[in-house]
């Protein structure tokens, strides 16, 4: 028993690397995952205090055209309940003049126009591209138009049939429906999202420890000494499983403590801990078996990946339609644990299902343990008989080969920003890391940014959003649903400021990584020198304004679009300012990721042309999920990225392209009122609409100008100008880094 606990403590106290060559990037991913978990839990907990921080509701403006006197009398009567609506009365003779109504809505800051026909018909107009506008129109019909109809009937002496009782929310009295909807939203998170988080943290913690305790010892040639001791093989396996179990239970306990802060989850926490204890035993048994079968950490981690994907696939399948995975599924390992966690948190636990799935899981764990023990009996190892001098000679030769290899890879093939790598740039892991790091960072921080604005809405809307995700079954559905949700959120200053904060955090991550992990100055590591910052940034602002201004001029002169008005409604000024803040950090963030960090490192390993090509292609693909994305949009985004890459390379900094990127997006969406990579700016200084002869080939369609020929023309000309300009300044086409002009 003493040996058992000694082995368990050794496995538990293991740093997770054991001196083996395990990748540190998994650790960064775990930190980001922990941040997501904390934000989700904190968001749920904060929802109970949402009303304390939520701003006072602003009345929604509705443009009412040709309103009859009876409607105005109804609004002025005592029976009228405003429900947060404000009316902007207008007159217009034509019912289907959509262009005029769009201009009216932009001027008034409205998203709905109601037209009263002379024959008594009522027509409504609203931008259908945004997900929330249909609900807004339906609310207006239910609360205003239907009751207006009842008011007319009552005024005329006709009987009025009330299909549902009138609900009046009195200030200071809680609406039970709202409370129920908030609780149901939290329950939905507990049933669908929280079990997935439990699985992820347990799988990662088990993999980090379990693949090192045996496979890591083999890699370091220390496991043979353990096998030569009189400790039984069974004790070695059980001790390591206990150490891995303790390590994986710690993040599960931390997550449980955070969930305990949510009152509706508290009654089921004991059942959840029991489920997690069983699940951790099962995962620890599997990972130890894999570690026994492997000779090094990398092999063990690679072999564990299919197991990880199987576990996650089970979670995703149950997440898509939880109602289908009940009954017999509650007695099956993995399904039983996933469903059990959700039912325990929602206080609907099935005791028989919980015990049945736990028993079968423990049986499978015992089988894994038995196989691992049998494998240890057939473990082969050798004892070195080399003398001390022989070992020193072998070690010296190995070190010489490593130094030669390191020297080869530390020589930059092409220097961008005068970057000199201080660590190896070799291998598949380098390429994978460069490609996946922006994806991971953007996914994590944009997910976090969506939490505050969602919590500022009522619980019923949260429930509807979560419920609507269950119907997503194909890639087009994913794009459509995501674009609709983003379209709604982009009309709220809270979301834009949250996005800006996410971009700031990503910028801080890259700065800290370069400065303190890579120990490289920001000037060479990210292209952010301290000299001439104001001049360079102003140059970039001018460049972005000229580029997008040229695109706008081509579209106007060719009749593709026409200007219909100017100005911003007072109610939209906060949204306009929020867009400025968001674009400021969004442009800088993307340039730091793709031009500042990625390009010099790929150039150092493979050369300048591959660096520009890879960073440009990835930049384009990151916008590929936006609505309206086409082949021409793909080409244009690559051209824009190549243009920015050339400017950054020739000027030895990214300050110019940071400003140019920000100004490109800001002028496109909020000055000229055009779509920005498939996303609407929602508020702009200049109001525009498509001309009569407009074609998607020129305008870019729903993706915006970046999907049209106007951007193709402007970017090709700009690339040519940059090449000619710097060719003249550096002489005969030869690029001299020392002679490259600043600014």
- Sheet hosting strand 85-90, strand order edge to edge: 85-90, 60-65, 113-116, 122-125
Which range is least confidently modeled, 485-499, 640-654, 699-713?
485-499
Share of the chain above pLDDT 70, in %: 69
CB-count exposure of residue 103 (10 Å: 0-12, 13-18, 19+)? middle
Q: pLDDT tens across 241-285, in order?
A: 888 898 888 888 888 888 888 777 888 889 989 999 999 999 999
Q: How high is the pLDDT of residue 479?
A: 46
Q: pLDDT tens across 375-397, in order?
A: 887 765 444 444 455 556 666 76
Which range is least confidently modeled, 8-22, 159-173, 228-242, 502-516?
159-173
Q: How far is residue 518's CA from residue 522's CA, in Å, rounded to a whole number?
A: 10
Neighbours of 271 (CB within 10 A): 18
pLDDT at residue 29 greater than cutoff 90: no
Q: pLDDT tens across 612-633, in order?
A: 998 888 888 777 666 677 888 8
Mean pLDDT of the chain: 75
Domain positions in the chain: 2-24+185-199+211-377, 60-165, 428-456+492-730
Across 555-568, average pLDDT: 87
> Minimal CA–CA distance to 510: which of 497, 494, 527?
527
> Minimal CA–CA distance to 495: which of 429, 602, 578?
578
Considering 152-161, 181-190, 638-647, 701-710, the range whose residues carry the highest mean pLDDT is: 638-647
The CB-side HSE value for 212 (13 A sphere, CA atoms) comes to 23
Q: pLDDT tens across 502-513, in order?
A: 899 899 999 999
Measuring CA to CA, how many Å separate 436 from each of 292, 380, 597, 604?
Answer: 30, 38, 13, 19
Q: How far is residue 537's CA from residue 530's CA, in Å, rounded to a whole number?
A: 12
pLDDT at residue 708 greater than cutoff 70: yes
Q: pLDDT tens across 427-466, in order?
A: 555 666 677 778 777 767 766 666 666 666 555 555 555 5
Under the banding of pLDDT at 50, 70 and 90, the label for residue 717 is very high
Q: What are the residues facing 113 on neighbouring strands?
A: 63, 125
Q: Which two tokens stand for residue 449?
A: 């940014």
Q: How high is the pLDDT of residue 534?
A: 92
Helices (H) and strands (E) in the chain, counts: 30, 6
558: helix, strand or coil: coil
pLDDT at residue 155 greater than cutoff 60: yes
CB 315 within 8 A of CB 309: no
> Minimal CA–CA distance to 273: which of 249, 247, 243?
249
Q: pLDDT tens across 562-584, in order?
A: 888 888 888 888 888 999 999 99
Q: At the topology level of CATH, where does 60-165 sit?
A: D-Maltodextrin-Binding Protein; domain 2 (3.40.190)
Considering 19-23, 152-156, 319-323, the range whose residues carry the highest mean pLDDT is: 152-156
Measuring CA to CA, how many Å separate 83 from each of 78, 86, 460?
Answer: 14, 9, 16
Backbone angles phi, psi at 116, to 5 degrees: -95, 115
- Whose tokens are 């490593």? That residue is 402
Share of the chain above pLDDT 90, in %: 17
Strands 561-566 and 122-125: unpaired
CB 419 within 8 A of CB 604: yes
Strands 60-65 and 561-566: unpaired
Write out 150-166 in H/E/C secondary structure: HHHHHHCCCCCCCCCCC
Strands 561-566 and 686-690: antiparallel
CB 269 within 8 A of CB 198: no
pLDDT at residue 93 greater than cutoff 90: no
CB 509 within 8 A of CB 517: no
Q: Which residue has the higher pLDDT, 590 or 631?
A: 590
Q: How high is the pLDDT of residue 490?
A: 67
Q: How far is residue 589's CA from residue 654's CA, in Å, rounded to a whole number?
A: 11
CB 505 within 8 A of CB 445: yes
């Amino acid at each position: 028993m003493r040996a058992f606990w000694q082995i368990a403590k050794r496995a538990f106290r293991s740093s997770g690397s054991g001196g083996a060559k395990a990748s540190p990037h998994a650790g960064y991913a775990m930190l980001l995952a922990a941040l997501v978990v904390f934000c989700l839990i904190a968001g749920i907990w904060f929802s109970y205090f949402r009303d304390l921080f939520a701003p006072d509701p602003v009345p929604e403006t509705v443009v009412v055209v040709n309103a009859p006197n009876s409607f105005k009398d109804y609004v002025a009567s005592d029976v009228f309940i405003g429900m947060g609506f404000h009316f902007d009365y207008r007159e217009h003779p034509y019912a289907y003049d959509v262009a005029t109504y769009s201009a009216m809505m932009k001027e008034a800051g409205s998203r709905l126009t109601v037209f009263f026909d002379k024959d008594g018909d009522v027509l409504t107009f609203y931008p259908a591209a945004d997900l929330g506008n249909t609900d807004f129109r339906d609310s207006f019909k239910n609360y205003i138009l239907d009751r207006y109809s009842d008011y007319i009937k009552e005024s005329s002496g006709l009987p009025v049939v009330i299909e549902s009782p009138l609900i009046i929310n009195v200030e200071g009295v809680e609406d039970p429906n709202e409370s129920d909807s908030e609780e149901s939203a939290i329950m939905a998170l507990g049933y669908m999202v929280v079990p997935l988080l439990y699985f992820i943290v347990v799988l990662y913690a088990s993999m980090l420890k379990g693949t090192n305790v045996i496979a890591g010892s083999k890699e370091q040639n220390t496991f043979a000494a353990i096998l030569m001791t009189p400790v039984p093989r069974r004790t070695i396996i059980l001790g390591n499983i206990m150490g891995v179990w303790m390590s994986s239970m710690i993040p599960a306990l931390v997550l449980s403590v955070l969930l305990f802060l949510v009152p509706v989850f508290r009654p089921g926490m004991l059942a959840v801990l029991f489920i997690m204890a069983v699940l951790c035993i099962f995962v620890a048994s599997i990972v130890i078996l894999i570690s026994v079968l492997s000779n090094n950490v990398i092999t063990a981690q690679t072999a564990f990946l299919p197991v990880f994907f199987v576990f996650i696939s089970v979670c995703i399948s149950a997440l898509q339609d939880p109602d289908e995975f009940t009954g017999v599924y509650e007695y099956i390992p993995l399904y039983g644990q996933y469903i059990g966690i959700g039912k325990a948190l929602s206080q609907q636990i099935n005791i028989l299902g919980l015990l049945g799935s736990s028993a079968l899981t423990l049986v499978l764990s015992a089988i894994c343990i038995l196989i691992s023990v049998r494998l240890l009996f057939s473990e082969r190892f050798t004892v070195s008989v080399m003398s001390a001098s022989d070992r020193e000679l072998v070690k010296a030769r190995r070190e010489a080969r490593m130094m030669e290899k390191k020297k080869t890879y530390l020589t930059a093939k092409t220097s961008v920003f005068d970057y000199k790598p201080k660590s190896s740039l070799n291998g598949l892991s380098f390429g994978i890391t460069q490609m996946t790091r922006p994806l991971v960072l953007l996914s994590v921080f944009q997910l976090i940014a969506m939490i505050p604005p969602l919590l500022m809405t009522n619980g019923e809307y949260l429930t509807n959003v979560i419920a609507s995700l269950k119907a997503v079954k194909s890639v087009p559905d994913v794009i459509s649903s995501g674009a609709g949700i983003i379209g709604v959120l982009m009309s709220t200053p809270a979301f834009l400021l949250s996005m800006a904060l996410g971009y700031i955090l990503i910028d801080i991550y890259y700065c800290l990584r370069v400065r303190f992990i890579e120990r490289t100055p920001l000037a060479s590591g990210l292209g952010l020198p301290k000299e001439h910052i104001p001049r360079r940034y102003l140059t970039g602002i001018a460049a972005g304004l000229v580029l997008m201004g040229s695109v706008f001029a081509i579209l106007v002169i060719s009749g593709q679009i026409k200007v219909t008005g100017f100005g911003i409604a007072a109610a939209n000024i906060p949204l306009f300012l929020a867009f400025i803040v968001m674009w400021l950090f969004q442009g800088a963030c993307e340039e730091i990721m793709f031009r500042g960090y990625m390009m010099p490192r790929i150039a150092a390993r493979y050369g300048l042309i591959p660096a520009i090509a890879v960073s440009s292609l990835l930049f384009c693909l990151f916008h590929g999920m936006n609505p309206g994305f086409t082949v021409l949009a793909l080409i244009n985004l690559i051209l824009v990225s190549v243009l920015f890459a050339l400017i950054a390379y020739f000027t030895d900094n990214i300050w110019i392209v940071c400003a140019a990127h920000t100004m490109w997006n800001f002028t496109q969406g909020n000055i000229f009122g055009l779509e920005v990579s498939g996303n609407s700016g929602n508020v702009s200084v200049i109001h525009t609409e498509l001309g009569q002869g407009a074609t998607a080939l020129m305008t870019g369609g729903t993706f915006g100008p970046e999907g049209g020929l106007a951007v193709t023309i402007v970017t090709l000309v700009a690339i040519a100008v940059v090449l000619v300009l710097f060719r003249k300044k550096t002489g005969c086409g030869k690029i001299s880094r020392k002679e490259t002009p600043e600014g």
